């Protein structure tokens, strides 16, 4: 007998990946900015020069993507607030995630280029992954599976409420 973990929401990832690889005209970040249904696009924060999107296929609860609004794939293509606003946004999000989730640490990173692991190499974005002591347990080690404790839309609603009460001020 084989143990199985049922995670049907992951099927969308497989369908999305096989139906279309990343291309300049299929940028989900640009699409989220252009469309008006932020919740459906998991776009939880819009600012003049930065956006925050929940990662649709998270590594941990609270996994966020922070991106400049402009579609650029290299750091040297950004300047001024297009470069600084995402970092300032990350700083404000850490304050909010600390309050909401109480993680013991974070992985924060930017995959620059496809060979560095960028799934969307044309639009820079930073990952914020909250981490807890012991969050690497038997599930990912033995079962090659990660347990996410809250649905994306439940977390979206909680984060949107927190962002409504906290301006992500940069001072």
Q: Domain spanning 24-131+140-165: which superfamily?
A: HIT-like (3.30.428.10)
- pLDDT at res. 31: 95
Q: What is the pLDDT along the chain (171 residues), one digit of tens a residue?
A: 445 545 555 555 555 554 444 444 589 999 999 999 999 999 999 999 999 999 998 888 999 999 999 999 999 999 999 999 999 999 999 999 999 999 999 999 998 888 888 888 899 999 999 999 877 654 444 445 556 778 889 999 999 999 987 767 654
- pLDDT at res. 164: 85
Within 10 angstroms of residue 127's Cβ, the number of other Cβ atoms is 19
- pLDDT at res. 59: 85
How far is the C-alpha of 163 from the C-alpha of 153, rounded, in Å?
Answer: 15
DSSP output for the chain: -------GGGHHHHHHHHH----GGG-HHHHHHHSS-TTTTTEEEE-SSEEEEE-SS-SSTT-EEEEESS--SSGGG--THHHHHHHHHHHHHHHHHHHHH--SEEEEEE--SGGGT-SSTTS--EEEEEE-TT-S-HHHHHSS-----S-HHHHHHHHHHHHHH------
Kindly name the residue from 45, 63, 123, 125 that is annotated as catalytic. Answer: 125
In the residue annotation, 63 being an active-site residue is answered as no
* Domain residue ranges of the chain, discontinuous segments joined by +: 24-131+140-165
- pLDDT at res. 133: 87
């Amino acid at each position: 007998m084989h143990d199985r973990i049922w995670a049907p929401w992951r099927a969308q990832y497989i369908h999305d990946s096989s139906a279309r690889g990343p291309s300049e005209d299929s940028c989900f970040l640009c699409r989220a900015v252009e469309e008006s249904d932020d919740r459906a696009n998991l776009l939880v924060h819009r600012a003049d020069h930065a956006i925050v999107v929940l990662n649709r296929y998270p590594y941990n609860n609270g996994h966020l993507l922070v991106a400049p609004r402009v579609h650029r794939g290299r750091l040297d293509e950004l300047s001024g607030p297009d470069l600084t606003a995402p970092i300032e946004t990350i700083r404000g999000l850490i304050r909010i995630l600390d309050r909401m989730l109480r993680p013991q640490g974070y992985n924060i990173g930017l995959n620059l280029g496809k060979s560095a692991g960028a799934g969307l190499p044309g639009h820079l974005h930073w990952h914020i992954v909250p981490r807890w002591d012991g969050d690497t347990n038997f599930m990912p080690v033995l079962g090659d599976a990660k347990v996410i404790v809250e649905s994306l839309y439940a977390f979206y609603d909680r984060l949107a409420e927190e962002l409504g009460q906290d301006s992500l001020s940069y001072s």
